[in-house]
Amino acid sequence: MPTIALSLMTVVSAVAGLNMALPEMAVAINASSTDLTWIVDSYTVIFSGLLLLAGAIGDKYGRQRALLFGLIVFAVGAGFGYFQTDAHGLIAARMIMGLGAAFIMPSTLSVITASFPPASRGKAVGAWVGIAGGGAVLGLFGVAILLEWFDWNSFFIFNLVMALFAIVGCFQVPNSRDENGHPLDWIGGILSVLTVGGLVFGIIEGPELGWDATETIVGLAFGSVSLIAFIVIELRAKYPLLDPRLFRNRGFSAGSLSITLQFFGQFGFIFVGMQYLQFVARFTPLEAAAHLLWMPAVVLPGSRIAGHLSKKIPQKYLGSAGLLIFGYSLLHFSKLGVHFDYWYFTSGILMFGFGMALSATPATVAITSALPAEKQGVASAVNDTARELGSALGIAILGAALTDSYKASMKDATVGLPSKLAELAQHGIAFTKIDKPAMVPAQVWDKLVVDGLSAFHDGVGIALNIGGWVAIVGSILILVIAPRKVAEVN
């Protein structure tokens, strides 16, 4: 179990931890808001797109082997990323890490669900959910501490060291597998990557290129067509990567929807919120991370409690209540002021963590309970795909809303300014952390910085408002479609 926990925290922390380094990275490599979104989301796009195929490979060839392979690839990507100095190189490194993560994460959950007896599986899944939530905070704190003494690229060393320790422990993990040996659905795996990639490309590039730009429209259309093709092919396949008919199971579909929406909000908040704390509230990375201390203190015990409650209370009630609280916390965060209020922020973090704990465990139990033990790799991959798809879309959509709002406000704020100065301010909020250009009057520069921070603050509010309402609408859907009975663990 320690190796599984470390492996899980390795991949989760790689999503969350990078957000602490974004402000310093943006200044160091002159990255735009869109560049930053891609650097974060390139990992989750590959991660989420390949999870189903990686889970099936683990089922067929052995989950311990898939875990070891994933950790090695992840470590290579992290080592490569340390030496990159531009956005394109960083995106490539994150894609390699995403490939490794796609093999790691489904292996962690499938090893647990295949190893624990039905009576204690809900408790084990609750622990897995808690570790996943704790891994996000570990990433935030680990990177924040490194940034006190080292440069932004120390983030990759943090990832590398965690992966190397997990590789050593991986040799003690049992190598369970599906003995049926069905052929792999490679076409479905490729289409799943194209679906996520196309949709996320269109969403991220929309604010930069324009929502009516050819590239944006083509990306969204390509992703949509790939999704339709994936569904058609999976319905016809003898051994589909993911049988769409599984979603007739209301517990399975409600669990998948809930997980997607939870991580849409969670990682959208981390991406937007960490920038708010460092750019607007002017905290150092470590100070920003410290304001999240209450989250693991709520999520870890809350997830264990939810594991027990999920045996007695159906997801229909427990999960929808958790998602409702979670959504309200995002609406609460959307009203953060330009001047930081510690108690207002902390009360939001408490609601945020409590809502996550109540909603995640029953949803995960519902998904893993829908398939037999020999298919737990696919069940785990569906759970993880929902998580990472939600993360990718949350970062893309909330990041796009922030970028769109910021650019629109700064176009108005820079009217009449020299073109180079206006372009600098519109490029991204990182300009507020650089020294004043020599030829720009101090009064003009100071006003531009104030306008930039105000525009960014307004964009944060809009983005988190979207995330909150998405979660609240989702809680209503879970209440409607989830079954009234407690999920029966196989």
> Residue 37 carries which DSSP code?
H
Question: Per the structure block, which two tokens stand in for 385?
Answer: 């795909």
Q: Is the predicted pLDDT of residue 414 greater than 60, yes or no? A: yes
> Residue 375 carries which DSSP code?
G
Amino acid letter, 365: V
For the segment 268-303, what is each residue's pLDDT rounded down to a tens digit?
998 899 899 999 999 988 898 888 888 878 877 887
Helix axes 18-29, 2-16, angle to 10 degrees: 40
Give dist(CA 255, CA 364) in Å, integer: 6
Give dist(CA 102, CA 48) in Å, integer: 7
What was the pLDDT predicted at 350?
A: 93
For the segment 462-477, what is each residue's pLDDT rounded down to a tens digit?
999 999 999 999 999 9
Helices marked H in 369-418: 376-413
For the segment 88-132, what is each residue's pLDDT rounded down to a tens digit?
999 999 999 999 998 887 777 666 666 666 666 566 666 666 666
Q: Which of 332, 466, 477 is nearest to 397 (CA)?
A: 466
Q: Is the predicted pLDDT of residue 486 greater than 90, yes or no? A: no
In a domain, 202, yes or no: no
The three-state (H, E, C) secondary structure of 406-465, written as one string: HHHHHHHHCCCCCHHHHHHHHHCHHHHHCCCCCCCCHHHHHHHHHHHHHHHHHHHHHHHH
Q: With contact defined as beta carbons under 8 Å apart, do 66 and 124 qualify?
A: no
DSSP letters for 238-280 = SS-SS-GGGGGSHHHHHHHHHHHHHHHHHHHHHHHHHHIIIII
Q: How many CB atoms lie within 10 A of CB 148?
A: 11
Q: Which of 486, 397, 435 is nearest to 37 (CA)?
A: 397
Q: HSE-up of 39 (CA within 13 Å, CB side)?
A: 30
Q: With contact defined as beta carbons under 8 Å apart, do 8 and 106 qualify?
A: no
What was the pLDDT predicted at 416?
A: 83
In a domain, 20, yes or no: yes
In a domain, 215, yes or no: no
In a domain, 439, yes or no: no
Q: With contact defined as beta carbons under 8 Å apart, do 395 and 136 qualify?
A: no
User: Nearest 5°: CA angle at 258, between 204 and 110?
Assistant: 95
> Residue 211 carries which DSSP code?
T
In a domain, 297, yes or no: yes
Give dist(CA 436, CA 434) in Å, integer: 7
Q: With contact defined as beta carbons under 8 Å apart, do 382 and 256 qualify?
A: yes
Parent domain of 357: 2-184+241-410+452-481
Q: With contact defined as beta carbons under 8 Å apart, do 260 and 266 qualify?
A: no
Give dist(CA 95, CA 80) in Å, integer: 11
Highest mean pLDDT among 3-12, 242-251, 262-271: 262-271
**Per-residue confidence band for 135, with pLDDT thresholds at 50, 70 and 90:** low
Tell me the mean pLDDT in the region 235-252: 83
Give dist(CA 18, CA 308) in Å, integer: 33
* CATH code of the domain containing 58: 1.20.1250.20
Q: Which of 67, 53, 130 is nearest to 101 (CA)?
A: 67
What was the pLDDT predicted at 453?
A: 92
In a domain, 393, yes or no: yes
Q: With contact defined as beta carbons under 8 Å apart, do 489 and 126 qualify?
A: no
Helix axes 18-29, 33-61, angle to 10 degrees: 130
**Per-residue confidence band for 196, with pLDDT thresholds at 50, 70 and 90:** confident
Q: With contact defined as beta carbons under 8 Å apart, do 118 and 110 qualify?
A: no
For the segment 347-402, what is each residue's pLDDT rounded down to a tens digit?
999 999 999 888 888 888 777 776 666 666 566 667 777 887 888 889 889 998 99
In a domain, 222, yes or no: no
Number of domain units in the chain: 1
What was the pLDDT predicted at 377?
A: 57
CA pseudo-torsion sign 69, 73, 78, 83: positive
| Three-class secondary structure of residue 209 per DSSP | helix
Question: How much is the mean pLDDT over the chain?
Answer: 85
For the segment 145-162, what is each residue's pLDDT rounded down to a tens digit?
888 898 999 989 989 998
What was the pLDDT predicted at 331?
A: 97
Task: Give exposure, 159-183, as e/b (b: 16+ Cβ within 10 Å).
Answer: bbebbbbbbeebeebeebbbeeeee
Give dist(CA 37, CA 94) in Å, integer: 12
In a domain, 376, yes or no: yes
Q: Is the predicted pLDDT of residue 142 greater than 90, yes or no? A: no
For the segment 419-451, what is each residue's pLDDT rounded down to a tens digit?
888 888 888 888 888 888 888 888 889 899 999
Question: Per the structure block, which two tokens stand in for 234?
Answer: 């999976």
Amino acid letter, 75: A
More confident of the two residues 173 and 290: 290
Q: Is the predicted pLDDT of residue 133 greater than 70, yes or no? A: no
Q: How many CB atoms lie within 10 A of CB 109?
A: 28
Give dist(CA 413, CA 127) in Å, integer: 49
